[in-house]
Amino acid sequence: MKRFLALLATCATVLGLTALSGPQAVAATGCRVDYTVASQWQGGFQAGVKITNLGDPVSGWTLGFTMPDAGQEVVQGWNATWSQSGSTVTATAVDWNRTLATGATVDLGFTGSFTGANPKPTAFTLNGVACTGSVEEPPPTPDDGTPVDINGQLHVCGVNLCNQYDRPIQLRGMSTHGIQWFSQCYNTASLDALARDWRSDLLRISMYVQEDGYETDPAGFTARVNGLVDMAEARGMYAVIDFHTLTPGDPNFNLDRAKTFFASVAARNAGKNNVIYEIANEPNGVSWAGIKSYAEQVIPVIRAADPDAVVIVGTRGWSSLGVSDGSDESEVVDNPVNATNIMYAFHFYAASHKDNYRATVSRAASRLPLFVSEFGTVSATGGGAVDRASSTAWLDLLDQLKISYANWTYSDADEGSAAFRPGTCDGTDYSGSGVLTESGALLKSRISTPDAFPTS
């Protein structure tokens, strides 16, 4: 695979061009576009496009560019409304990213097809103002192979998550915050940092269903999830697609939405080996029987398109195996979901959930395949101080039991659980000590240690 980064950095006046007039026109010195071919395969490719507004603020924008080969076509795009007429491609802002302040950036992307050569696009414009630039090579990837390169298609064997060599492994990584609120945190720079500096094995993509999420724009949110799956794949990370049900807590409320969503993403991503499906984030106020019924209706929808991927099933009491509802793992052990290649979710927040929760995990791990698809170093509210002692005890236990995990959150939310200080996602540094919170520094130090995945 060959990746090109076009740094398109000057403006229309340099070329003697005249900017379009009107309130949406970008100032004549004001546009840069970074174009990246992240991966390429026979007849297809995935590209990322980062727009930087160096001119006046805009409250609506349209990116235009020309495909230089007649056989090149946009197949599916994300973070914008994409269209193509002949060789001319346009990407228009959507509601959540339509405003671009001076110096602000927005990340878009698309998958494309080609029949001949696949040269980079030309004649980029932002609201009619031309931008030009040069080509640079991307930074190198780790020499020892990515997590997906090494482990391949995952599956459940006994109570473990196992790799293509049938050996138990542990994946360690980070969860996004709600992508309806923090999309600016998930871009080329942040995911490069997650894969290369943090050495993360996975990205959990948290797509809320309610709370201004999927139900407001099913097609748009599905495209955004698929875009992040592709970005994780291009960096060799696994992607956990999280159908983030929280309020209301009964996943059956969203049964039809879940079937529609998972039918779409499973069909689209069935050829990938980096995808894990999490079908219900934190069931609450619902019985295990109700959760089990939901799972046994949604899993066949996924299996119809993607028979081999691992599926994570939420558990009672905010995915606590019932502990937060006064129960324990026995209800799942005695009445498991009627499906194969599945794991059960366990969530905890270290300052709130301590010895009795750890005891439950220690017992359950010998009977059930567990995946800690979300946890925090702080209280169950997502805020407060980091409990280093409890967090360390939890992480040591998960390492000992080879239980995979994703930390909440890889974001700059103004709360104790966030990995970054507020405002970090407006910049380009996602690894330095100056941008990390106490929680972020702790998790980066744990995740970035060598995985030593078994291969024989």
Q: Is 282 a catalytic residue?
A: yes
Q: Choose, from 233, 282, 329, 331, the residue flagged as catalytic.
A: 282
Q: Choose, from 233, 278, 329, 374, the residue flagged as catalytic.
A: 374
Q: Is 374 a catalytic residue?
A: yes
Cα 303 to Cα 203, 230, 233, 366, distances in angstroms: 22, 20, 21, 26
How many angstroms separate the most distant Cα atoms in the chain? Answer: 75
Question: The tokens 């609201």 sit on which residue?
Answer: 127
Identity of the residue numbered 452: A
Q: Which residues are catalytic?
A: 282, 374
